[in-house]
Amino acid sequence: MSWEEVADRCFRRRHGRFDVTVGVVTGRLGTVLVDTGASPAEGWELRAELRALGVGEPVAVVTTHGHFDHCFGNAAFTGLFWGHAGLPEYLRREVWITMAADDPDWARSVAGTEVPAPTQTVSGTAVIDLGDRLVEIHHLGRGHTGHDLVVQVPDAGVLFAGDLVEESGPPAYGGDSFPLDWPLTLTRLLDLRPEVIVPGHGEPVDRAFTARQRDAVAAVAHGVRETFDAGLDPVQALTAHDWPYDPLRLLQAVRRGHAQLAPPWE
């Protein structure tokens, strides 16, 4: 797939083995790159794809979250790396645990990879000035992970959502997700009023699509609370409730949500 300009000087491309959507925003003072792929090799492939777009070395690389398929290509780039304030600690340990569980073959293939830690961290909102436009980075709350960031280009009406929004499949609830927080985070995303929302996987969507997905993750959160209050264990919960997604994909959501609801002494 070639680069698609989704709005003025805002581009996206589905890239690499894990079909990650990477983003590019250009301005007078340079380029911001959003996510980089799953390995240094994929990062170097992305550099070649940027040259085909006519883009040089990015002045900033923003990591939407620490899952390996979005940031292990960082090693192919230099300059400023932006990430959530919790990302450095996540990259030191938890990313390897998550990757080994999700794709052990890939974990072995990238063993020893050093992923550059953020040189600029965000816990609320930050702004990158590209001279003739501003790029905003927001942490709106927890959801897909505890350290999700979105990248907004206000003058273009575009928002790169990372895996807070999914188009090519249902939202991915992993062992580091926060299913009870995710609906409010998406509500805050919608409050930013973007016209085009670029998911971490899949095709660009609009606010109506994202609102429907917010309502679905809210239904998951409701089911988590209801089954917890009923005293069901996570496996029982999958068959005892009417879920908006395939229950077989929601075991981690229920486990994580029940753990959030459990008293701290349990």
CATH number at residue 155: 3.60.15.10
Q: Evaluate whether residue 9 is within a structural domain.
A: yes
pLDDT tens per residue, range 212-242: 999 999 999 999 999 999 999 999 999 999 9
Distance CA 78, CA 60 (A): 8
Domain that holds residue 53: 4-206
pLDDT tens per residue, range 5-62: 999 999 999 999 999 999 999 999 999 999 999 999 999 999 999 999 999 899 999 9
Distance CA 255, CA 249 (A): 12
| Interacting residues of 263 by C-beta distance below 8 A, sequence separation 6+ | none
Q: Evaluate whether residue 202 is within a structural domain.
A: yes
Structural contact between residues 250 and 219, judged by C-beta atoms closer than 8 angstroms: no
Query: Of all helices (H) and strands (E), which one includes residue 30?
Result: strand 30-34
Distance CA 226, CA 23 (A): 38
Q: Evaluate whether residue 149 is within a structural domain.
A: yes
Which tokens hold the place of 2?
A: 């070639």
Q: Number of folded domains in the chain?
A: 1
Instruction: Calculate what percentage of the chain has a pLDDT beyond 90.
Output: 89
The confidence score (pLDDT) of residue 250 equals 98
Q: Evaluate whether residue 45 is within a structural domain.
A: yes
Return the sign of the alpha-carbon dihedral for residues 106, 107, 110, 116. positive
